[in-house]
Amino acid sequence: MGKTIFITGVDTDIGKTFVSLGLALSLKSKGYSVGYFKPFQSGAYEKNGKLIAPDPDEFIKYESEIKTKYSYLFKGEVSPHLASLIDNVEVDIIKVQNDLKEFSSQFNYTIIEGAGGLYCPAIKNNLFSDIIKKLNQEIIIVTTPALGRLNHTLMTIECAKLNNIKIKGLIINKMPDNATLSESNFVKELKLFSDIKILGIIPEIKNPEKESIINAFSGICL
């Protein structure tokens, strides 16, 4: 089995899929085989009579050779737990564990992406923090320098520590060129209150293309 890393975030719409894509493209450009695994995918939509998983579909747009897989696909654009109730699907964590084991055995690296944050409801009686522990994963936390995110980031770090989840590091996403005072001091303040390693600072990319994404993530070592 190759290496695995679980991507979580301090909030929803923080850029977890973009960071997962960036890491995957960067690793592939360095000669590694890479897979992308989404245990629970909500917000599926129909296209040409076929149900599409939106996050794996992002990978196809940029690199068709990166294989993707999900264990469960739901239509509701809500938490996986609520989406599974809406679709009346009984989720089996053993299936997820077996899917990950089989899928990740094919690659040097497998990027696993969660949904929401650590305390987002995943399945019945399980938050994503529980899923991460059951999959025995180390996490990368994705955040942004937006106002209020320092609070969210520090709480996510403490949440991981309280749940005995190992943190590989932080990736700061969407750093603007013309940063506000709060945004420009985000990294400095974060370092004052946390000793978690910052793996990379990703600039805000208005019209991302494959090469610009690879360049942005090239300096991050997993």
Could you tell me if residue 222 is inside a domain?
no
pLDDT at 46: 87
pLDDT of 93 reads: 96
CATH number of the CATH domain containing 206: 3.40.50.300
Q: Given the residues 38, 47, 101, 210, select the one marked as catalytic.
A: 38
pTM beyond cutoff 0.85? yes
The predicted pLDDT at position 190 comes to 96
196 inside domain: yes
161-188 residue pLDDT tens: 999 999 999 999 999 999 899 899 999 9
11 assigned to some structural domain: yes
Would you say how long the chain is, in residues?
222
Residue 135 lies in a domain: yes
Domain count within the chain: 1
> pLDDT, tens digit, for every residue of 24-65?
999 999 999 999 999 999 999 988 888 889 988 888 889 888
Q: Is residue 43 part of a domain?
A: yes
Domain that holds residue 130: 3-217
Catalytic site includes residue 38: yes
